[in-house]
Amino acid sequence: MQQLKQTLHDSPIARWMALILISATMFFAYFFVDVVAPLQKMMLTNFNWSPEVFGYLGGSEFFLNVFVGFLILSGIILDKMGIRFTLMLSTITMVAGAAIKFAALKYIDVASVSSVFGWELPTTALVAYCGFAIFGIGVEMAGITVSKTIVKWFRGKEMALAMGLEMAVARLGVFAVFRLSPIFANSENPAQWNPANSVFMGLAFLCIGLLTSLIYVFMDVKLDKQLGDDGKLAPEDEFRISDLAKIFTNPGFIAIAGLCVLFYSAIFPFQKFATDMLSSKLNIPITEASNLFSFFPIGAMILTPFIGLFLDLKGKGASLMLYGAILLVASHLIFALVPNENFSYLLAFGTIVILGTAFSLVPASMWPSLPKIIEDRYLGTAFGCIFWIQNIGLMLVPGLIGWSITKSNPGVAEQIAAQIPGAAYNYLVPELIFAGFGVAAILLALYLRKVDAKHGYGLELPNKKTPKMV
């Protein structure tokens, strides 16, 4: 019998070590994404950022990816230049963008105002937008690169579990930021609030993430040497621009992309406002509200690997996406419809757990499903395209939510800026908007099950291949 060639890919220790390294990079990236999320009121009192200005900060992360098409370009770069080049490019870009955002809050005059197409806003916000947009190029490029990296190391093995664990580590970054960012900003002493401190710590963490990416690169070089010609695509299998048409005419891709943008639009923009929502609804300090919401990513972090393991062994990916969308709607309706006087700490915690469960079910099922419907040779580009579509929602929704808060709470921003006791926003309208996204996601999840049954993608089948008996 011919002896099978063993590579790092076949070594459990090596492939899990590779996963740890790239997951660490994403941990630090996710920390920076939400580094000012718990500090909404501080940004108003320190920098005169209204809810719209604060909301558009979240949207600015995705501006260049959407309007300049950097995410699709990132996917093409990934398929053309490979994992190592794209991973290092993405981490360096993240550090550069984060440095600009820190400089905006640290060194620009708080009283300075700029005008963009007739819209006057603080100069600190304008420069922070630019830095966050550059950071956004890097973090989304890193996201698609990490996804393809996991496919490379775990295909035919524990792929969904690996993706679940990577997402769990990233969620831990969200937990850390909601716990640590108010502390870094000295939120216990309103007279000395300094959100720039939190942004600086996020920048420092990103530099550590750059080092973990560099260590992974050396492992990837060794793996490619071991694979030799087996790891290279034949000329006829390389990505071509014409493959974009195949991606966007694939009904499975369209269904997953639509579900992705709707689901994430009800999660990530919500994170930007969740701390203040809980503080207003429960009438508790910002630090306590931030600590409470920090359990949201913890629940997702714990459940996601188990869901990934279930998908590897049992399947049911399309069904789990549907269940996650249903839980998403339920949680946002509770936040929206339960009156403040009946909204207890325990109910808040339970609703956060429900939302965390939804946040586990959908991403853990979605990302391992894409390789089942897309060919390897343009898988990176497909990840880039789906992230691009997702980014359209993530760019627009934070501004929409900030606008809805202002319009449904006339005069409240001025009361908060004046530090009038008891001044707080009502979040009924924003929460109904989030619930509406969830309802649309349910409809698309039902459509995805129908498409899977028709085309036989195997989304309901296990991911892990069982060796054949001979």
Q: What is the pLDDT tens value at each position of the chain, 470 positions in all? A: 344 456 776 788 888 999 999 999 999 999 999 898 888 888 888 888 888 888 888 888 888 988 888 888 888 888 888 899 999 999 999 999 999 999 999 999 988 988 887 778 899 999 999 999 999 999 989 988 998 899 888 877 788 788 888 988 988 898 899 889 988 887 555 556 688 899 999 999 999 999 999 999 999 888 888 776 555 544 434 556 667 788 888 999 999 999 999 999 999 889 888 988 999 999 888 889 988 988 887 777 788 788 888 888 888 888 999 999 999 999 999 999 999 999 999 999 999 999 989 988 888 888 888 888 888 777 778 887 888 898 899 888 988 998 999 999 998 888 887 878 888 889 999 999 999 999 999 999 999 999 999 988 888 888 666 544 33
Backbone angles phi, psi at 122, to 5 degrees: -60, 140
Per-residue model confidence (pLDDT) at position 234: 43
8 A C-beta contact, residue 167 and residue 150 = no
- CA 103 from chain centre, in angstroms, equals 24
Tokens of 16: 């899990």
Tokens of 443: 């409809």
- Helical pair 51-60 and 379-408, crossing angle rounded to 10 deg: 180
Q: How far is CA 116 from CA 51, 82, 133, in A?
A: 17, 38, 16
- Rounded-to-integer distance, Cα 108 and Cα 127, Å: 9
- What's the pTM? 0.74
8 A C-beta contact, residue 460 and residue 452 = yes
DSSP helix, strand, coil percent of the chain (3-state; round to 5): 80, 0, 20
- Rounded-to-integer distance, Cα 345 and Cα 351, Å: 10
Read off the DSSP letter of residue 421. Answer: T
8 A C-beta contact, residue 65 and residue 391 = yes
- Compute the CA torsion angle 176, 391, 159, 310 (nearest 10 deg): 80
- Rounded-to-integer distance, Cα 147 and Cα 162, Å: 10
- Rounded-to-integer distance, Cα 214 and Cα 268, Å: 28
Q: Which domains does the chain have, with CATH numbers?
A: 15-455 (1.20.1250.20)
- Rounded-to-integer distance, Cα 332 and Cα 313, Å: 31
Tokens of 75: 């996917």
- Rounded-to-integer distance, Cα 387 and Cα 140, Å: 7
- Compute the CA torsion angle 94, 100, 102, 103 (nearest 10 deg): 160
Tokens of 344: 């207890």
HSE (side-chain half, CA atoms, 13 Å) at 46: 24
- Rounded-to-integer distance, Cα 229 and Cα 184, Å: 50
- Map residue 244 onto helix, strand or coil: helix
Per-residue model confidence (pLDDT) at position 81: 87
